[in-house]
C-alpha cells in the first residue's frame, strides 16, 4: 500500500549506508590512532589534491560552507599538518598547503579508506562499482544544482525554467 512507505527506498538506503560508512571509518581511524575525525581526514585529503588553493575554493569543492572549513583548518593547523600562507596577490586571502609532516598521515588515511572499501564492497564486481560511482557523481551534481537554486531563489523568480 502507498500508506506503507518503503524503508528500503533509495534515499533511505543511501543515508543508512553513509551513516554506517562514516561510523566504520571513524572506528578505523580511531583504531589506527591517527588522531583525526573523519571530517578532518576528508579535509586533509582534499587539500592534498588542491595544494595552494584559497579557502573559499576548497570549501566550494568540498561542498561545505567556508566557516565549516575554517574550523577544520584550525584543527589541522594546530596539529601541524597544514599551513596558511598569505596570498601575495590578495592580502585578504590565504593559501593552504600541506606540510611535510602530513605526508605519512595522508598515506595512512588512504590505506584505511581503501581497506575499508574493499571490505564493504566485497561481493560486487568492479564494473558495477564503477557504474555506481559514476551515477552517484551524477546525483551529487544534481544535488549541487539544487543547493544553488535554493541559495539564490530570488534570481530564479518565475523564469519558467
Q: Does 101 bind a copy of itself (CB under 8 A)?
A: no
Q: What is the CA radius of gyration of the chain?
A: 19
C-alpha cell at 2: 502507498
Choose among DNA, a copy of itself, none what residue 65 binds, the Cβ cut-off being 5 to 8 Å by kind. DNA
Stretch that binds a copy of itself, among 69-77, 78-86, 89-97, 108-116 (CB under 8 A): 108-116
Dihedral sign of CA atoms 18, 30, 130, 139 in order = positive
Q: Does 131 bind a copy of itself (CB under 8 A)?
A: yes
Q: Does 34 bind DNA (CB under 7 A)?
A: no
Contacts of 97 by beta carbon, 8 Å cutoff, 6+ apart: 47, 51, 52, 82, 83, 85
Q: Does 103 bind a copy of itself (CB under 8 A)?
A: yes
What number of other Cβ atoms are within 10 A of residue 37's Cβ?
16
State which residue, 139 or 156, has the beta carbon closest to a copy of itself. Answer: 139
Stretch that binds a copy of itself, among 75-83, 86-94, 113-121 (CB under 8 A): 113-121
Ordered alpha helix ranges (H), the chain: 10-31, 38-49, 55-62, 66-78, 102-120, 126-151, 153-156
Stretch that binds DNA, among 63-71, 101-109, 111-119, 124-132 (CB under 7 A): 63-71
Q: Does 94 bind DNA (CB under 7 A)?
A: yes
CA distances from residue 82 to 7, 97, 128, 140 in whole angstroms, order as listed = 42, 5, 36, 27
- Kindly list the residues in this chain that would bind a copy of itself in the complex (CB under 8 A): 2-25, 27, 42, 45-46, 48-49, 61, 63, 103, 106-107, 109-110, 113, 116-117, 119-124, 128-129, 131-133, 135-140, 142-144, 146-147, 150
Amino acid at each position: 500500500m502507498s500508506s506503507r512507505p518503503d524503508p528500503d527506498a533509495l534515499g533511505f538506503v543511501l543515508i543508512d549506508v553513509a551513516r554506517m560508512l562514516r561510523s566504520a571509518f571513524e572506528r578505523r581511524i580511531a583504531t589506527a590512532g591517527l588522531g583525526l575525525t573523519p571530517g578532518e581526514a576528508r579535509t586533509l585529503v582534499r587539500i592534498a589534491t588542491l595544494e595552494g588553493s584559497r579557502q573559499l575554493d576548497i570549501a566550494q569543492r568540498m561542498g561545505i560552507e567556508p566557516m565549516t572549513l575554517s574550523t577544520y583548518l584550525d584543527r589541522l593547523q594546530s596539529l601541524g599538518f597544514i599551513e596558511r600562507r598569505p596570498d601575495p596577490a590578495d592580502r585578504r586571502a590565504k593559501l593552504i598547503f600541506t606540510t611535510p609532516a602530513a605526508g605519512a598521515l595522508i598515506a595512512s588515511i588512504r590505506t584505511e579508506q581503501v581497506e575499508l572499501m574493499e571490505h564493504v564492497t566485497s561481493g560486487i564486481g568492479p564494473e558495477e562499482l564503477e557504474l555506481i560511482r559514476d551515477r552517484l557523481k551524477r546525483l551529487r551534481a544534481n544535488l549541487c544544482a539544487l543547493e544553488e537554486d535554493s541559495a539564490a531563489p530570488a534570481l530564479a523568480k518565475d523564469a519558467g525554467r
